[in-house]
Amino acid sequence: MEEIQVIHSWSAPRSLSTSLMYSFAQRDDTEVLDEPLYANFLQVTGAERPYREEVLSTMDSDGNKVVKDVIFGPGEKRYRFCKHMAKQRVPGLADDLMKNGKHFILIRSPLDILPSFEKVVPPSFLELGLAGLVSIYSELCELGKAPPIIDAADLQKDPEAVLRGLCEDLDIPFQESMLKWEAGPKPVDGVWAPWWYKNVHKSTCFTPAREYPLPLPSSLYDLLEQSLPFYNMLRRKTRRISSITGPPLPTPSLPVPANEKILVWVAGEIVPRDSAKVSVFDSVIQGGDAVWEGLRVYNGKVFKLDKHLDRLFDSAKALAFTNVPTRTEIKGAIYKTLNSNGMFENTHIRLTLTRGKKVTSGMSPAFNLYGCTLIVLAEWKPPIYDNTGGITLVTATTRRNSPNNLDSKIHHNNLLNNILAKVEGNLAKADDAIMLDKDGYVSETNATNIFLVKKGRVATPHADYCLPGITRATVMELVVKENLVLEERRLSLSEFHTADEVWTTGTMGELTPVVMIDGRVIGDGEVGPVTRQVQTAYKNLTEELGEPIPMYCKT
């Protein structure tokens, strides 16, 4: 006789686990067991149930004996499906339970469970079992057996697709019979069925979820808050995640794969990337009400840190922020984030300071009573442009903000006009877009400041409409130190079209040559000598200057 293959289903109560058991029971090659470890759970924990004595009198309460003789005992069919509750995996069970067989996890949102949970058992964190499921998932991963995870919501939405995917992950054939069963009690039901299975006994298949959820009792709010992070962690691992508007989008690849597992500072905490979130009541969500800085790390030092913080504080003051963190506090957050990630070079930091969380939604800063929210997002990020071969630009129809509207000297998060200009650049298949001021003179690009060279003289637009960038100011100083003539004046678009050389500057991209604007080749289409000269000077400066990161030790 062929050795039976055991399939372990791990779930929590009211998660469609019984329906899934009925589904597997329809297979012609599978036998099912309904919570074979229930008696052991009751015996070890002393948990009270209305049917406690009946379970203990009809089921073996010796967990290891059940594992050996029942779960992994001989059978008549090829597969044995074991429905387990996470909380029934109690201390003292043999390692064989986890090491042998095929495992998968079934989850369901506590929002769908809690409103009706207490019909049999008072709801508690332990009874919900989500922490237990996370523990099971972690242990299986450590054993090199990362289990498939399916969500009850997906199962209700598209049973066949989810079951086919699960069977594929378990390396078993899918059978159409899994999609339907007869109504009523089943011989495989545990003795607890009269208390828990009344609704599922009325079913003949996986029925769609109710369109709108039941109200959540306010008394269960804290329990929901405790449980959701565990559910969300497992939800992110599901094989298929449904979308409200259609099929799920494929998981995109990251420009730098190492950034998948970064740690981010958010409001005083360092959290994993997928947990790096701000409140929906935060001002940055309510109205883009925030200021930001971009910084770079070179060889264990943060370049121009104090200059960037000066501008951050000026921007926050211009927007009348209150309860702003101190310079020391912000530096500490930056250093802790960099050290936690081990980021000491080739790193870009997006530093954001929002007005903070509101007590209720609305535009008024009077609602901001929690203080500012500080975000330190550090990523492994080389310069984002081609600084060797150069980039192409087009001129956008979207104009740069005038000080009459919103002063560009405030480094704020209201970047929609820059984004619209970038959309134009993308549509033209250019790297970025030049933005003009209200009078038609060049201001900057959608993301960087801009310079030109004509007959050996370097020129850049006034900062009346553009952001007076830190990198811009640094490059202007270098131009003078390199004994080049520098002009800061109004520059028309045609002057850029006919320039000998053009480059852009910004923290994220550093100093980037421009070889074409609006279809006009700049100079001879190659990176010019002045550009290279200033690039070299800038590179040398970044190697020399910067605020050392505490605890960094170059190896």
For 344-381, the pLDDT digits (tens) are 999 999 999 999 999 999 999 999 999 999 999 999 99
> Distances in Å between the alpha carbon of 437 and those of 241, 249, 349, 476, 517?
45, 39, 29, 21, 17
Average pLDDT over residues 197-216: 90
Output the pLDDT for position 404: 85
Q: 463-493: buried (b, 16+ CB within 10 Å) or exposed (e) per residue?
A: bbbbbbbbbbebbbebbeeeeeebeeeebee
Output the pLDDT for position 244: 43
Output the pLDDT for position 127: 83
Output the pLDDT for position 3: 82
1: pLDDT strictly greater than 60: no
Conformational region of residue 356, where left means phi above 0, alpha means psi within -120 to 50, and beta covers everything else: left
In angstroms, rounded to a whole number, what is the distance separating the alpha carbons of residues 107 and 151? 5
Q: What count of residues does the chain have?
A: 555
Distance from CA of residue 469 to its chain's centroid? 29
Contact 441, 491 (CB under 8 A): yes
In angstroms, rounded to a whole number, what is the distance separating the alpha carbons of residues 488 and 398? 23
How confident is the prediction for the chain on average, in pLDDT? 93
Q: 16-30: buried (b, 16+ CB within 10 Å) or exposed (e) per residue?
A: bbbbbbbbbbbbeeb
Pair type for strands 501-506 and 449-454 = antiparallel
Query: Which structure tokens are listed for 292?
Result: 């930001």
pTM recorded for the entire structure: 0.85
3-class secondary-structure state, position 501: strand
> Among residues 18, 36, 31, 20, which one has the least CA distance to residue 193?
18
> Among residues 274, 249, 252, 251, which one has the least CA distance to residue 261?
274
3-class secondary-structure state, position 493: helix
> Distances in Å between the alpha carbon of 57 and those of 63, 90, 369?
15, 20, 59
Tens of pLDDT, residue by residue over 38-84, are 999 999 999 999 999 999 999 999 999 999 999 999 999 999 999 99
Window from 202-216, 246-260, 326-340 with minimum mean pLDDT: 246-260
Average pLDDT over residues 145-151: 96
Phi, psi of 475 (to 5 degrees): -65, -35
Output the pLDDT for position 461: 96
Average pLDDT over residues 279-298: 96
Phi, psi of 391 (to 5 degrees): -125, 170
6: pLDDT strictly greater than 50: yes
First CA to last CA distance, the chain:
61
Q: Judging by beta carbons within 10 Å of its beta carbon (0-12, 13-18, 19+), is residue 304 exposed, middle or buried?
A: buried
484: pLDDT strictly greater than 50: yes
Helix or strand holding residue 382 (H, E): none
In angstroms, rounded to a whole number, what is the distance separating the alpha carbons of residues 282 and 352? 12
450: pLDDT strictly greater than 50: yes
In angstroms, rounded to a whole number, what is the distance separating the alpha carbons of residues 294 and 506? 9
In angstroms, rounded to a whole number, what is the distance separating the alpha carbons of residues 461 and 490? 5
Distance from CA of residue 45 to its chain's centroid? 38
Tens of pLDDT, residue by residue over 302-320, are 999 999 999 999 999 999 9
Helix or strand holding residue 473 (H, E): helix 470-481
Output the pLDDT for position 27: 97
The CA radius of gyration of the chain, in Å to the nearest whole number, is 31
In angstroms, rounded to a whole number, what is the distance separating the alpha carbons of residues 209 and 212? 8
How many Cα atoms are found within 13 Å in the side-chain-facing hemisphere of 28? 3
Give the amino acid at 381: K
Average pLDDT over residues 334-353: 96
120: pLDDT strictly greater than 80: no
Contact 107, 11 (CB under 8 A): yes
Tens of pLDDT, residue by residue over 9-25, are 999 988 999 999 999 99
Output the pLDDT for position 242: 47
Output the pLDDT for position 460: 97
Query: Which structure tokens are listed for 369?
Result: 């009573």
Output the pLDDT for position 245: 43
Average pLDDT over residues 429-448: 96
243: pLDDT strictly greater than 50: no
Query: 209 pLDDT band (50/70/90 cuts)?
Result: confident
Output the pLDDT for position 553: 60
Output the pLDDT for position 554: 59
Domains of the chain in sequence order? 5-236 (3.40.50.300), 257-380 (3.30.470.10), 391-543 (3.20.10.10)
> Among residues 207, 150, 208, 205, which one has the least CA distance to residue 26?
205
> Among residues 81, 133, 141, 139, which one has the least CA distance to residue 109?
133
Looking at the chain, the whole-number percentage of residues with pLDDT higher than 70 is 96
85: pLDDT strictly greater than 60: yes
In angstroms, rounded to a whole number, what is the distance separating the alpha carbons of residues 429 and 389? 17
3-class secondary-structure state, position 188: coil
Q: 329: how many CB neighbours lie within 10 A of its CB?
A: 12
